[in-house]
C-alpha cells in the first residue's frame, strides 16, 4: 500500500514520473489537519528539533551548499526512491533556497535535464526557488557524473 501526498496539498511538487514530494519551510508550523510526512529530509546548518516521523538531516547552511556533497547526494537519492510510495518532505528554514535546490536535484534524478531542473521547480513549486547562483550551479552539476 502506498502512502503519498495529494497533488493539491500545499507545497507538493509532481515530478515527471508522477512521484509527489512536498517542500516546506520549517519556520512555518504545520496547520492543524495538515498531513504529516512519513519521511523528511531536513536541510539545515544545525541539527533540527526532533519530529514524530522518520527524518534525516543534511548539514546545509542557509544560502550555501551542503557541507558533505556525497552525503547530500545519498540523502537526495534516498528521498527520491522513497517518494515512489511514501509521503516525503524536503524542508529547510524558509522552504525556497535549499529546499528548491534539493527539489531540482530530485527532478534531475527523475529525468529532467540538469539545465532545465531549476526552471522546472520554479514553474511547479515556487517561482523564487533556488536562491543563489551557486545553488543553481550545484543543480547543473548534479547529473550522473557531477555533485
Model pLDDT, residue 146: 59
Q: In the numeric block, which cell numbers belong to residue 86?
A: 511514501
| Report field, pTM of the whole predicted structure over 0.85 | yes
Mean pLDDT, range 106-135, rounded to an integer: 97
Model pLDDT, residue 19: 97
Structure confidence by residue, pLDDT tens digits, 19-40: 999 999 999 988 888 899 999 9
Model pLDDT, residue 80: 98
Query: What secondary structure does DSSP assign to 2-38, as a single string?
Result: -----TTSTTEEE-TTS-EEEEEETTSPPPTTPPPPS
Is-contact 94 100, C-beta < 8 A? no
Mean pLDDT of the chain: 94
| Residue that has been written with the C-alpha cell 517561482 in this structure | 127
Mean pLDDT, range 68-95, rounded to an integer: 97
Model pLDDT, residue 147: 52
pLDDT tier for residue 73 given thresholds of 50, 70 and 90: very high
The domains located in the chain, with CATH, are 12-25+35-139 (3.90.190.10)
End-to-end CA distance of the chain: 33
pLDDT tier for residue 125 given thresholds of 50, 70 and 90: very high
Amino acid at each position: 500500500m502506498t502512502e503519498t501526498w495529494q497533488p493539491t496539498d500545499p507545497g507538493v511538487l509532481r515530478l515527471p514520473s508522477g512521484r509527489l514530494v512536498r517542500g516546506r519551510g520549517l519556520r512555518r508550523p504545520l496547520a492543524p489537519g495538515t498531513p504529516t510526512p512519513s519521511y523528511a529530509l531536513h536541510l539545515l546548518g544545525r541539527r533540527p528539533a526532533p519530529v514524530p516521523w522518520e527524518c534525516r538531516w543534511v548539514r546545509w547552511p542557509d544560502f550555501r551548499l551542503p557541507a558533505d556533497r556525497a552525503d547530500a547526494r545519498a540523502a537526495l537519492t534516498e528521498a527520491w526512491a522513497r517518494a515512489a510510495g511514501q509521503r516525503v518532505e524536503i524542508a529547510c528554514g524558509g522552504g525556497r533556497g535549499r529546499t528548491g535546490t534539493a527539489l531540482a536535484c530530485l527532478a534531475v534524478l527523475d529525468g529532467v535535464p540538469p539545465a532545465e531542473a531549476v526552471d522546472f521547480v520554479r514553474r511547479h513549486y515556487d517561482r523564487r526557488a533556488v536562491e543563489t547562483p551557486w545553488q543553481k550551479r550545484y543543480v547543473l552539476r548534479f547529473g550522473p557524473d557531477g555533485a
